[in-house]
Amino acid sequence: MKITIPNLGLLSFLLLFFSATVLFTACDTDDDGPGMTQDDDDDDDDDDDDDLIFTVGDEEVSGIWKAGSEVTVTGSITIPENESLTIEEGVRVIMAGDGGIDAPEIRVRGSLYCYGTEDNRILISARDEDRTPENYFRGLWGGILATETVQDMVFEYTDIEYTGAPAQPGSPIVAEGELDEGEPRYAIYMQDNGLTSNLILWHSRIAYTKDDAIRLNGARTLIAHSVFELNGETGGEAVNTKSGTVGDFAYNLIYGSATNGLKAANSKGREPQCDNYYYNNTIVNSGWRRAQAGRGGSLNYEAGARGECYNNLVVNCRFGLRLRQPDSEPDLDNLKYDYNFYFGNHQDIVDEFYPSNGMLGDELPLPENDVLGGVGENDPLFANYDVTVFDHFSASDGSNAQPLSGSFSLTADSPAASGGTVDFSPRFDTYVVNGVTYVTPAPSPFFGAFGVEN
């Protein structure tokens, strides 16, 4: 099966989710690929259909959770090494946590494949009665945490919400030294050394997390056409990557993250060097809940990380592209950046388009082709979102956090509708995982994730 991405210039944002033309070329139906096995006995189909509502907890799981199932998880579950769990379209996974240290998590020692569709998404979230604004940053359940033995994780058209419960003593994220017991868990955590594993986040959404939405200590990574909404209470990135993480991060919407939208650091001592390509992302109202002074913003490279950074649309964020100063600077010989677009509705924001605690404009010259101006200049003219009403003072208080609404596509007369660059290539042309080929989206000449609305 092959997924092909069309030209995204006319892509619209609708009801928080994305639409894209997806063309499928069928593979040999006798070879379903790892994690896609089927029962050879068709006579068992009627029995299987009786098991679409069930409960699991404190046990190992693998095989297939069938389309339309409702699964309640009452205790932490583990996908064993060299095995896989496939979650089909329309499955609802209810993580029955209360925000305590015993709140369940999904531990991935093998592979996890979540195959939702545009019309029938997968939901992995808290109980319905707990999915409230009061619980945006409470961290009701643990997250999806992969160990050193993980093979692959794929999330297509999947929504993950309300993660960040305190880390358990037996959690792999504690055993491997990433977190101490009691610290908030991440929505997705993965580690790998030598690019032996893949992470695909495709048309998916991660919302209402107590800390990072995604923390990667290595993986061959494609994160595209996805939404990150209100990630981190007083700290936390949408995507926080360390050494061993190489890949493409493109056409994503990041809204209201506590700290950075996308952050790369070549720390933790894994191979290869952290190499992240950030392009055509829209980052809005981010960085304001970060409690520590001088931290928080939109795009960040540090500690020997390398990559390329173009065509991003940064609106009302605490900082623009930040290259940390000497003693923790990125790999400047292998880092390229330019053609990013900035808007701020207050002087405090405009003053930090080039962060005062970064290298741009100080040790390094300013990019030649960025778009920026004074207060209120270069309004990107989103199709249905008013950038002028944002209040960065109140945004520092998590109790004032507003859920995502509106459309972040551009109007025809938007200054962000053109002026970007297409003179670069993605880090990887394709990603092949579990028999599926994901074609990495090419850069577009507009700024941000969506282009002009149809």
pLDDT at 43: 47
Question: What is the residue-averaged pLDDT of the chain?
Answer: 90
- pLDDT > 60? residue 45: no
Q: Tens of pLDDT along 182-209?
A: 999 999 999 998 999 999 999 999 999 9
Spatial separation of the C-alpha atoms in residues 396 and 293, rounded to whole Å: 12
Q: Supply the DSSP symbol for 411.
A: P
- pLDDT > 60? residue 27: no
- pLDDT > 80? residue 50: no
- pLDDT > 70? residue 53: yes
When pLDDT is cut at 50, 70 and 90, the band that residue 88 belongs to is very high
When pLDDT is cut at 50, 70 and 90, the band that residue 176 belongs to is confident
Mean pLDDT, range 426-454, rounded to an integer: 97
Give Rg (Cα) of the chain: 21
pLDDT at 327: 81
The C-alpha torsion from 276 through 265 and 195 to 181, rounded to 10°, is -130
Which H helix or E strand runs over 49? helix 45-49
Q: Tens of pLDDT along 247-280?
A: 999 999 999 999 999 999 999 889 999 999 999 9
Q: Tens of pLDDT along 378-411?
A: 999 999 999 999 999 999 998 889 999 999 999 9
pLDDT at 293: 67
Query: In sequence order, what DSSP letters do the residues of 58-81 get, joined into one string?
Result: SEE--EEE-TT-EEEE-S-EEE-T
pLDDT at 274: 98
Residue count (the chain): 454
Share of the chain above pLDDT 70, in %: 88
Mean pLDDT, range 211-226, rounded to an integer: 97
- pLDDT > 60? residue 33: no
Mean pLDDT, range 317-329, rounded to an integer: 92
- pLDDT > 90? residue 224: yes
When pLDDT is cut at 50, 70 and 90, the band that residue 326 belongs to is confident
Q: Tens of pLDDT along 65-83?
A: 999 999 999 999 999 999 9
Mean pLDDT, range 138-166, rounded to an integer: 97
Spatial separation of the C-alpha atoms in residues 168 and 350, rounded to whole Å: 42
Share of the chain above pLDDT 90, in %: 82
pLDDT at 189: 97
- pLDDT > 50? residue 147: yes
Strands 17-18 and 13-14, bridge-based pairing = antiparallel
Spatial separation of the C-alpha atoms in residues 74 and 349, rounded to whole Å: 44
Spatial separation of the C-alpha atoms in residues 253 and 449, rounded to whole Å: 7
Q: Tens of pLDDT along 336-393?
A: 999 999 999 999 999 999 999 999 998 999 999 999 999 999 999 999 999 999 999 9
Name the residue among 213, 225, 275 with its Cα closest to residue 448.
225
Token pair recorded at residue 394: 């109140």
Spatial separation of the C-alpha atoms in residues 370 and 361, rounded to whole Å: 13
- pLDDT > 60? residue 18: no
pLDDT at 48: 56
Most confident of 18-32, 170-184, 308-322: 308-322
Token pair recorded at residue 175: 């055993």
Residue 247, classed as helix, strand or coil, is strand
Token pair recorded at residue 297: 């913003």
Spatial separation of the C-alpha atoms in residues 378 and 415, rounded to whole Å: 6
Mean pLDDT, range 429-443, rounded to an integer: 98
Spatial separation of the C-alpha atoms in residues 198 and 216, rounded to whole Å: 11
Strands 198-202 and 219-224, bridge-based pairing = parallel
- pLDDT > 60? residue 47: no
Q: Supply the DSSP symbol for 44.
A: G
pLDDT at 17: 37
